[in-house]
Amino acid sequence: MGRVIYWINQSVDGFIEGPNGEFDWPQMGEELSAYAVAHSERAGAFAYGRRVWEMMSWYWPQAESISGHPHDLAFAPIWRRTPKIVLSRTLDAADHGARVVGRGDLATEFAAACAQVDGDVLLTGGTGAAEALTALGLIDEYQTVVHPVLLGGGKPMLAHVGRLDLRLVSTRGFDGRSVLLRYVRA
C-alpha cells in the first residue's frame, strides 16, 4: 500500500473556498499544471469526499467538451482511467468505477480500499474527508498549494482538526505565483 496524500489549493490567508463558496481564484499556470498532471499520473487512485466527488464526476467525464484549457485536456483522460475511492456516509454506490467507503467503519473500509491500490492515494479538494482521515491518522502527507490571493473569509483548511505536528519535507514555487508546501506527520 502506498501513501495517502492530501492535495489542496489554498489562499494566502488559509481558505480553500471564498466567502460565497467560490473557487475561481487558483491559477493553473504551465509549471503547476505540469506538476499536478505528473503527480496525478503517478497516483494509484484518487479519493474524494462526497461533495467533491459530485463535482468531479460531473465535470471530468465531459471536460473536453466544456473546456479547452490545456490542464483540463491533459488531466481528463488521467481522471477517467484512474481508480477512485469516495468517502461517504450517504452514498450506496458511485459511477465511473468508484468504490464507496464510509458507511461502516471508515478506518477499516478505507484501509481495505487502499490495500487494493498499486501506488499512492491522492485525496483532493474539500475538508470533510481530509478531516475524518486526519483524525484517524490515515493521511501520510499534506501537500498545500498556496495561491497569491487573499480571500478575507470562506472555508478554512482543516478547521475541525486538533493539533497535529508536521515536518516540512520540501517547498517548490510554480509560475512565479504559487508555492507548494509538502509536510509529513512528525
Q: What is the pLDDT of residues 5-58, one digit of tens each?
A: 999 999 999 999 999 999 999 989 999 999 999 999 999 999 999 999 999 999
pLDDT recorded at residue 51? 92
Mean pLDDT of 125-147: 94
pLDDT recorded at residue 4: 97
DSSP string covering 80-110, please? HHS-EEEE-SS-S--STTEEEE-SS-HHHHH
Length reported for the chain: 186
Candidate CATH numbers 3.40.430.10, 1.10.510.10, 3.30.465.10, 3.40.50.720; the one for domain 4-185: 3.40.430.10
Dihedral of the CA atoms 30, 22, 57, 120 (nearest 10)?
60
Which tens digit of pLDDT belongs to each residue from 145-179? 999 999 999 999 998 888 999 999 999 999 999 99
CB 94 within 8 A of CB 57: yes
Condensed to tens digits (0 to 9), the pLDDT of residues 69-124 reads 999 999 999 999 999 999 999 999 999 989 999 999 999 999 999 999 999 999 99
Q: 25 and 11 in contact (C-beta within 8 Å)?
A: yes
185 dihedral zone (left: phi>0; alpha: psi -120 to 50; beta): beta
Residue 125 pLDDT: 83
Is 0.85 topped by the overall pTM? yes
pLDDT at residue number 186: 87
